[in-house]
Amino acid sequence: MKEKYFILFSVLFAILAAIISSQLGAMEITWTELLFADSIGSKVFFELRIPRILLGILVGGSLAWSGALAQGLFRNPIVDPGLIGITAGCSLFASIAIVLGGFIPFLHTIWSVVIFSFVGGMISCFIIFIFANTKGKTDIESILLSGIAVNSLCFSFIGILSYLASESQLRNLSLWNMGSLGGASWNLLQSFSIFYLLPIFVSPFLVKPLNVLILGEREAGHLGVSVEILKTLMIVLIGISVGSCISLVGNIGFIGLAVPHIVRLAIGQDYRHLLYASYFLGGGLLCFADGICRVIIAPSEIPVGIVSALLGAPFFLNLILKRKQSL
């Protein structure tokens, strides 16, 4: 019963965060203005804020859901999807597009940065999968070690690109790495929503095998779970979800690591509730953080990755403290 109430709390939190966020921004919009389709307030609300709110919920949800999946894959509650190199791959290819975009014709638009970054994440995912696969079996320890190696390699190249970048390119690189939902639009949502809604569609099929996998790979195999297929599927799903998120909004940390852990501390590790609660809580947190980042130094914005960490970290520490006191 406690778990169902927590899922309900997560859904309500996401809805409340969306409502509050819709009223936050450099421009004050009254509810009366929304009745007139040709008013400036109505256009700002429906053409800028609503796509941004939806993108925040979908991206935050996907990142938190991917974190829950990664922690299940490694059977370790402090694992982040970034550990397996996908985030670094996205960042490297986005950096290439930003720094070399002026010299390569097909890399000078925002869409090319997004698509190129997504391709980078998928390539990293593929490389890690190849190195971790031996005779048809995927070794979890090799995934982690390959991820560390890919991370180091990608960040080395990012360092070289940062050294070669001009001042304006360096600023763009820094802003991209701190994350922003400022590029949200209905076109982007239509193009990428399938990736962000993927967790909702596939979660029902993952719940049972993930709960069995908690017991261990050998035990899960004895109980009829196709462990190798499950691990491969999880790597692909994490790659698609995280790759699509990072490529579109930049590097947003904390949510993928902390939100599933917060849910786990609150209601345990039963994946029937963990996946859904993580999705809605992560979506609500990013949406609310984006609203805050639009008003602190309005009309300018603080990168949303900074605000999400500032909001979530104290709550996370409080949960850890309570857990410590209960032991």
What's the pLDDT tens digit per position in 49-100? 889 999 999 999 988 998 888 888 777 777 777 777 788 888 888 888 878 7
Predicted confidence (pLDDT) per residue in 106-140, tens digit: 666 666 777 777 888 888 878 887 887 777 777 77
Give the domain range for residue 45: 1-326
| pLDDT at residue 11 greater than cutoff 90 | yes
pLDDT digits (tens, 9 = 90+) for 302-327: 888 778 777 767 766 776 676 666 66
Torsional class of 250: left (φ above 0), alpha (ψ -120 to 50), beta (otherwise) = left
Strands 133-134 and 137-138: antiparallel
For the stretch 259-278, what's the b/e string if a residue is b when 16 or more beta carbons lie within 10 angstroms of its beta carbon? Answer: bbbbbbebbebebbbbbbbb
Across all residues in the chain, what is the average pLDDT? Answer: 81
Closest by CA position to 153, among listed 176, 133, 128, 177: 128
**Three-state DSSP class for residue 137:** strand
Q: 144: which residues sit within 8 A by CB, 6+ positions away?
A: 74, 83, 84
Q: How many helices (H) and strands (E) does the chain have?
A: 13, 2
Residue 91 dihedral angles phi and psi, to the nearest 5°: -65, -40
pLDDT at 12: 94
Segment 238-252 shows an average pLDDT of 80
pLDDT tens-digit readout, 131-185: 877 777 777 778 778 888 888 888 888 888 888 888 887 887 777 777 788 778 8
Q: What is the pLDDT of residues 29-38, one digit of tens each?
A: 777 777 777 7
Buried b (16+ CB within 10 A) or exposed e, 182-205: bbbeeebbeebeebbebbeeebee
Q: How far is CA 139 from CA 67, 172, 202, in A?
A: 19, 38, 23
Residue 85, burial from CB neighbour count under 10 angstroms (0-12, 13-18, 19+): buried
CA atoms of 273 and 10, how far apart (whole Å): 11
Between CA 187 and CA 156 the distance in angstroms is: 34
B/e letters for 231-257, b = 16+ CB within 10 Å, e = fewer, are bbbbbebbbbbbbbbbbbbbbbbbbbb
The predicted model scores a pTM of 0.86
Number of domains in the chain: 1
DSSP 49: I
Q: Assess contact for 57 and 249: CB atoms under 8 A.
A: no
Q: Residue 143's pLDDT is what?
A: 78
pLDDT, tens digit, 9 for 90 and up, residues 187-232: 888 877 787 788 888 888 888 888 888 888 788 888 888 888 888 8
Question: 281: pLDDT confidence band, cut at 50, 70 and 90?
Answer: very high
114: domain CATH number is: 1.10.3470.10
Closest CA to 252 of 91, 124, 18: 91
